[in-house]
Amino acid sequence: MNWQTREIAPGLYLVATPLGNARDITLRALDLLAGADVLAAEDTRSLRRLMDIHGVPLGERPLIAYHDHNGARARPRLMAALEAGQSVVYASEAGTPLISDPGFDLMRAALQAGVPCTTAPGPTAAVAALTLSGLPSDRFLFAGFLPTSAGKRKSALSELVGVPATLIFYESPKRLGAMLRDAVEVFGPDRAAVVCRELTKKFEERSAGGLDELARKYADESPKGEIVVLIDRGAGPVTDATTVEAALQEALTRLSVKDAASEVSAIFGISRRDAYQMAMALGKN
Ligand code: SAM
């Protein structure tokens, strides 16, 4: 099918593109790709391919690379086009621009320059995974990519222990096993979690279970493709000392002081230090 060119008003258009299945493009995204004066993309080859699939000709229009490594150099050219009253579409490689993808500085610059800005919303892996996860979707926190070093990753996870929302992470397949092991330490072995892989693609997969179960599964199996990890909310922070003490007392019948403190801090969203001190005091009595 050849896409009809429509006239596009001046301004910056952030256009979401499919995560894998090219047919997830929206009709409005195709209108904008067909009609904008200037196209900019994180990966110009991917955008060309997507336009070819949908019969959108590039013609003589410029297609400018705009990504993390050339943003400062490429931005002035895009800003000049915008300030001259042209329409500029920006698409990242897949999904929604700015969501763990480039585009933030361009959007800020355009807003600051008083250029009209809008979005053509569409797929984003975080929301696709949330809707498929089976975990509560009423409140969620998108945490993006975790730090790659084990120490920083654990402290980033610890900050999220008491958050009363489904947690969503992007993760690379080669770090999935290590991330899940760290998550077991921080959130406890039984916290419900889901790994979504290759969403909207041929080998789409959803694996659900307790964190420990998933950590074991992915310890030996290094999956291929793109991955979102979701972790269920905990019980939320509890200030009621009697409840925490009762849980600690029970945990101390099974575990060392350190492990009991770790488990209870994860369940109730209190600091490990506080839980440890309470466990020490209970241990002495
Ligand atoms: N801007 C994108 C969005 O809106 O989701 C995210 C880009 S970020 C550089 C890439 C990460 O998104 C991947 O490492 C993976 O965690 C996640 N992702 C993207 N496509 C995915 C897919 N089809 N299935 C699962 N996760 C995906």
Question: What token pair was written down for 89?
Answer: 């579409």
Instruction: Name the residue of 17, 194, 227, 229 to mutate for ligand 1: max ligand atoms within 8 A of Cβ.
Output: 227
The pLDDT assigned to 237 comes to 60
196 close to 165: Cβ distance less than 8 angstroms: no
Q: Which residues line ligand 1 (CB under 6 A)?
A: 19-20, 92, 94-96, 99-101, 124-126, 170-172, 196-201, 226-228
For residue 16, the ligand 1 atom closest to its alpha carbon is: 4
Residue where the block lists tokens 């299945």? 21
Q: Which two tokens stand for residue 260?
A: 């009991």
At 144-171, the pLDDT tens digits run: 999 999 999 999 999 999 899 999 999 9
Residues in the chain: 285
Q: Tell me phi and psi for residue 82, to 5 degrees.
A: -65, -45
Distance 272 CA to ligand 1 centre (A): 32
pLDDT at 13 over 80: yes
Among 91-105, 183-197, 257-271, whose mean pLDDT is lowest?
257-271
Q: How open is the CA angle 266-158-153, to the nearest 5 degrees? A: 135
Q: What is the pLDDT of residue 235?
A: 72
As a whole-number percent, the residues of the chain with pLDDT over 70 amount to: 96
pLDDT at 204 over 60: yes
Token reading at 15: 């256009």
Average pLDDT taken over every residue of the chain: 93
Ligand 1 probe mutation, 100, 107, 146, most atoms within 8 A of CB: 100
Report the separation in Å between the CA atom of 223 and the middle of ligand 1, taken as the mean of its atom positions: 15
Please report where in the chains the tokens 């949908």 appear, as a residue.
54
Q: Is the pLDDT of residue 240 over 80?
A: no
**Cα–ligand 1 centroid distance for 172 (angstroms):** 10
Smallest CA-to-CA distance from 163 within 234, 231, 229, 228 is with 234
Among 110-114, 219-223, 238-242, 243-247, the least confident range: 238-242
Beta carbons of 122 and 25 less than 8 angstroms apart = yes
Nearest CA to ligand 1 atom 8: 100
Please tell me the predicted confidence (pLDDT) of residue 268.
Answer: 75
Residue with tokens 């080669």: 174
Q: How many C-beta atoms lie closer than 10 Å to residue 154's C-beta?
A: 17
Q: What CA–CA distance (Å, rounded) separates 84 from 93?
A: 26
